[in-house]
Structure 1
Amino acid sequence: MSSNATNRREQLRRQQAAAAKQQRTTRIIGVIAGVLALVLIGVFAYVIVTSQQNKAESTPTNTALAAQIVPPNANADGNALVVAQGAAGTPTVTLYLDYQCPNCRIFENNFGQMLDQEAQAGTWTLQNKTMTFMDSNLNNTASTRAALAASCAATVDHYAEYHLEIYNNQETQEVRGSVGYSDELLRVTIPTKLGFTSDQLTTFQACYDGRATQDFVTTVDKGAYTDGVTGTPTLRVNGKDVNYSNVTSVAGLKELILASV
């Protein structure tokens, strides 16, 4: 056999081997591309579903805005909710809060009961001004929806305990973009736990679903900024800031409040 024939066969073998290798490479690339496509489809699907879930929590429901009402325990100016009315001539204690504010929850746990009990006893009038700036900080609507729910609870005479229960369900960590307080928690779980009657629950849910106190909540929030409040919790007595940063006891805060009149 001539050397030329041998060289041609060797050349043909190499060409066939190269072609087979290229074919295998092409198949592998195709498989990888297919897997990546499936992964991307899954990612896009997750993003869409998550977006829709967050959107569903952006407002209580998709029902039309109800006729606007002011809670029965609103103050005379319509820019705060009165927890308890003190005796004539006693000071007005105002607490500025945001339901997603961790320090507000701590303040409530430490001092809320005393503030409420003293107001019930007539020592002072206690009123809350609820803000919603944490919605922007955390990129959700939980502060607004919680404020709506609390004011709706006031329409069925359950404000104080509902207010506290919101804090009891505050997330342990601030997570930007999280739902915060779900509609299910606000409109079903909390009122059920607090023992709303059937009629009260119906009235409360109609108020929440229709956002019947939305104008009131907006007025309170804007009024807090007009008052010059830049952070929560802020405590004021007759409109004057109370610096409680060095207070270490419930008795100490009570003494400080009375000394600030």
Structure 2
Amino acid sequence: MSEKNQEGKRAARDRLNQQREQMKARERRRRTLIVSTAVVGVLALAAVVGVIAANSGGKGSKNKASGPAVAPSGATGKDSLAIQVGADDAPSTLTIWEDFRCPVCAQFENAFRDTIHQLERSGQLKVEYHLATLIDGNLGGSGSLKAANAAACAQDAGKFSAYHDVLYRNQPQETDDAFGDNSKLIDLSKKVDGLDTPAFRSCVEDGTHDSWVQKSNTAFQNGGFQGTPTALLNGESIFPKKGNEPITVANLKKWVAEANKGKRTGTVTPAPSGS
């Protein structure tokens, strides 16, 4: 009887282990499906955004800021129009042009945010963000401009990355100009530890960086880009594909690894914080 009991227990343990492995496999498939679905959404909408960008000179934004372009603290690149996240000495650079009202930009961020931050934190990649206001120009309103100004204000406080992510996680519908309300942008800043300060509020309400944002948008329009988001790895376009390969999480990691082969990783930077 004891041998039969032992065999029964072993069989039960085997069944339990098998069930656990099946559950793990299902969870892996579920996560893959989520990422794949997000990427498909990005690719499906990319052509639409290209049309929007091509027609961006049509209506034009009515939001004309006056005064000199005041770049946010630490802005880099030509005319100080880039906001950098990641180590200065990272071997590869991902250049991203985005509009905070652009739905495909949110699709891109939701699909690749974790991977990009992982590559930043490991010193493999630095990201240079450039901000555009295409949706304001095509649909009217001021949400693209004001959200970009608020993001630049967050850069002044050293919290651009976290606030950038909060804006995309809370993006309204494309036709809803909710980001045109400064109080909405200030309210969202409460999701980033230490960002909601009198200095940040004043910067948002005064439109401190409005002229800088518009200068950035002009650079985008003059750059010959097809739409937002535009993503360039070391100057080569990778969205919605690189050569004949579509952008996926796996491919993005592979492309960065290939670009970094034989190069030293950069200084590791702290992980982005925020809700």
Provide TM-score, normalisation by structure 1: 0.66
- The answer to whether the 8 Å contact 2:146/2:210 transfers is no
Give the count of matched residue pairs: 193
Query: Given that residues 92 and 237 in structure 1 are in contact (C-alpha distance below 8 angstroms), is that contact kept between their aligned partners in structure 2?
Result: yes
Work out the percentage of aligned pairs sharing the same amino acid.
Answer: 27
Change (3 A) 1:258 1:152: same
Alignment partner, residue 216 of structure 1: 212
What's the counterpart of residue 82 of structure 2?
80
Q: Which has the larger radius of gyration?
A: 1
The aligned runs of 1:85-234 (5 Å cut-off) are 85-87=87-89, 90-171=91-172, 173-175=173-175, 178-181=176-179, 182-187=181-186, 189-196=187-194, 201-234=197-230
Structure 2: any 5+ residue segments left out of the alignment? 1-61, 261-275
CA distance, structure 2, for counterparts of residue 123 and residue 142 of structure 1: 33
Give structure 1 stretches of 5+ with no counterpart. 1-57
Query: Hey, what's the Cα distance between the residues in 2 that align with 1:222 and 1:215?
Result: 11
Cα distance in 1 for residues equivalent to 2:221 and 2:68: 26
1:255 pairs with 2:257:
no
Q: Do the aligned partners of 2:239 and 2:247 also contact (CA within 8 Å) in 1? A: no
Amino acid at match of 1:174: E
CA contact (8 A) 2:72 2:156 kept: yes
Aligned to 1:11: none
**Structure 1's 168 and 100: CA in aligned 2 closer, same or farther, altered over 3 A?**
same
Tell me the distance in 1 between the aligned counterparts of 2:87 and 2:166: 21
Larger RCO, structures 1/2 (Cα 8 Å, 6+ apart)? 2
CA distance in 2, matches of 1:128, 1:110: 17
Cα separation, 2, equivalents of 1:229 and 1:180: 26
Q: Distance in 1 between matches of 2:66 and 2:133?
A: 19
- Provide the C-alpha distance between the structure 1 equivalents of 2:247 and 2:226, rounded to a whole number of angstroms: 23
Measure the CA separation in 2 of the matches of 1:149 and 1:256.
Answer: 32
CA RMSD after TM alignment: 2.5
TM-score w.r.t. the length of structure 2 is: 0.63
| 4+ residue runs over 6 A deviation | 64-67
Paired residue type of 2:220:
A
Compared CA separation, residues 160 and 91, structure 1 to 2 (3 A): same
Query: 1-side partners of 2:239 and 2:137: how far apart?
Result: 26
Q: Distance in 2 between matches of 1:66 and 1:259?
A: 44
Deviation at 1:250, TM superposition (A): 1.5
1:166 to partner: Cα distance = 0.7
- CA deviation map 1:133-185 (0-9, x unaligned): 110222111000100000001101110110011112212x332xx42323211
